[in-house]
């Protein structure tokens, strides 16, 4: 995906009055200034350091002005599609609720994660759904009812039955920005400890011990039969679709070397310090989950994102399964690093660049007017206003 083909069209209205926000703390990529920012025709047209309140400007009363957040990996849409196991909601209503929720949390660009690769067995029924859901998303986007900017993130399940057939259903017009290689074969990567996986599935899906054992055996067999062909095919499909390739849950330096050889742009949630160090050595950007940062540990028993941050092995953050955690995690990182601009980059500029988007993620003249107004309440950021392309959506 090249920047020229991936950008949303800015809603131009040359006659619209500019929006002037002043008496604000503007969080630039490398510093914070007191000043005014001016938005017009969907773009940032001026940034000025000044202490006064110009006539006609909105008085931000010392609040922070940040770039809109950029989310590369979120399970939130699937949660709206299936809020309870086996309870399915209509796609359009789920998409609209998901879009509104993200806007309310300051996310102005999202790469909606959709699993491709179905699994059907006595223990598991992960049916194919991504093509139909993506079609509905594109339809809603064309009507102009969505508040924020949406792209696709295809989660390519290596350990599945139909991966390559499902990937073949997508084309360059589907806004596939990211394709991640996911291998959830039990006993490695995220769930090296099978007891953690057993606890997770028994709690989330009510899986009995017998069903769990059958599930593990079935997935192990799928990986043995299809793993190599699916991995190679998915890498080729990422090239065909013009998508950035991401790895997922790399655990060993050897897995990171394979990711490098595949042309991986960034690593989602490396599970060990050794894997994160290997990513740094190979120039692969490192992304960790906001819930891991806020909890101080991984729910799967893997490496703490805070430990990676303290070791300078963290480049960007994803909300993962809690959209509201994204902005809060950046403020927690600011406390660790004593550097708010650096922390804000992990949820704005760095993910935008990793996805090939050069027109957003920074307060900079000429870029999209995706803007947040945020007030600090002790250690908690409170979102007061959200603009996408200069239009207030929250």
Q: Is the confidence at residue 201, as pLDDT, over 80?
A: no
Fold of 69-340: TIM Barrel (3.20.20)
* Cα–Cα distance for residue pair 288/325, rounded to 1 Å: 12
Among 189, 79, 187, which residue's Cα sits nearest to residue 198?
A: 187
Which CATH number is correct for 1-68+360-394, 1.10.10.10, 2.30.40.10, 3.20.20.70, 3.40.1000.10? 2.30.40.10
* Domain spans of the chain, in order of start: 1-68+360-394, 69-340
- Token pair listed for 137: 């998303």
Number of separate helices (H) and strands (E) present in the chain = 14, 18
Q: How confident is the model at residue 55 (pLDDT cuts 50, 70, 90)?
A: very high
What phi and psi values does residue 382 have, to the nearest 5 degrees?
A: -115, 120
Question: Which comes out higher in pLDDT, residue 8 or 10?
Answer: 8
The burial of 21, by beta-carbon neighbours within 10 Å (0-12 exposed, 13-18 middle, 19 or more buried), is given as buried
Q: With contact defined as beta carbons under 8 Å apart, do 104 and 394 qualify?
A: yes
Question: What beta strand segments (E) does the chain contain?
Answer: 19-27, 32-40, 43-49, 58-59, 64-67, 69-74, 107-116, 119-120, 125-126, 149-157, 176-182, 244-248, 266-268, 285-289, 316-318, 371-377, 380-388, 391-392
- Token pair listed for 119: 């699994």
Q: How confident is the model at residue 125 (pLDDT cuts 50, 70, 90)?
A: low
Crossing angle (nearest 10°) for helices 194-205 and 209-241: 100
Per-residue pLDDT, averaged over 255-271, amounts to: 97
Q: How confident is the model at residue 159 (pLDDT cuts 50, 70, 90)?
A: confident
* Cα–Cα distance for residue pair 389/149, rounded to 1 Å: 9
Place of tokens 């025709």: 41
Residue 109 Cα distances to 14, 70, 306, angstroms: 24, 5, 25
Please write the tens of the pLDDT for every residue from 99-121. 999 999 999 999 999 999 877 65
Note the pTM of the prediction, 2 decimals: 0.90
């Amino acid at each position: 995906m090249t920047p020229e083909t991936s950008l949303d069209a800015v809603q131009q209205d040359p006659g619209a009055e500019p929006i002037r926000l002043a008496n604000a703390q503007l969080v630039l990529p490398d510093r914070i200034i007191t000043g005014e920012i001016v938005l017009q025709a969907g773009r940032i047209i001026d940034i000025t350091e000044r202490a006064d309140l110009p006539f006609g400007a909105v008085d931000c009363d010392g609040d922070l002005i940040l770039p809109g957040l950029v989310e590369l990996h979120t399970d939130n849409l699937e949660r709206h599609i299936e809020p309870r196991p086996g309870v399915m909601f209509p796609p359009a209503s789920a998409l609209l609720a998901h879009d509104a929720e993200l806007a309310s949390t300051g996310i102005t660009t999202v790469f909606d994660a959709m699993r491709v690769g179905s699994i059907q067995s006595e223990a598991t029924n992960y049916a194919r759904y991504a093509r139909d859901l993506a079609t509905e998303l594109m339809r809603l986007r064309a009507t102009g009812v969505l508040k924020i900017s949406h792209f696709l993130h295809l989660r390519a399940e290596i350990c599945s039955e139909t991966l390559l057939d499902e990937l073949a259903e997508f084309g360059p017009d589907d806004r596939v920005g990211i394709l991640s290689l996911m291998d959830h074969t039990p006993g490695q990567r995220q769930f090296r400890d099978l007891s953690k996986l057993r606890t997770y599935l028994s709690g989330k899906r009510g899986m009995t011990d017998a069903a769990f054992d059958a599930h593990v055996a079935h997935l192990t067999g799928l990986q043995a039969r299809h793993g190599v062909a699916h991995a190679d095919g998915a890498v080729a499909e990422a090239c065909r679709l013009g998508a950035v390739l991401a790895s997922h849950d790399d655990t060993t330096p050897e897995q990171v070397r394979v990711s490098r050889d595949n042309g991986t742009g960034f690593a989602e949630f490396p599970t060990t310090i050794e894997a994160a160090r290997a990513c740094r050595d190979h120039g692969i950007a490192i992304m960790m989950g906001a819930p891991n940062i806020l909890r101080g540990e991984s729910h799967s028993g893997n490496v703490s994102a805070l430990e990676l941050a303290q070791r300078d092995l963290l480049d960007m953050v994803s909300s993962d399964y809690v959209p509201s955690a994204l902005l809060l995690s950046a403020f927690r990182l600011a406390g660790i690093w004593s550097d708010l601009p650096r922390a804000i980059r992990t949820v704005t500029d760095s993910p935008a660049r990793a996805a090939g988007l050069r027109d957003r993620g920074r307060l900079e003249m000429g870029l999209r007017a995706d803007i947040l107004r945020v007030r600090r309440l002790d250690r908690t950021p409170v979102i007061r206003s959200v603009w996408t392309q200069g239009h207030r959506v929250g």
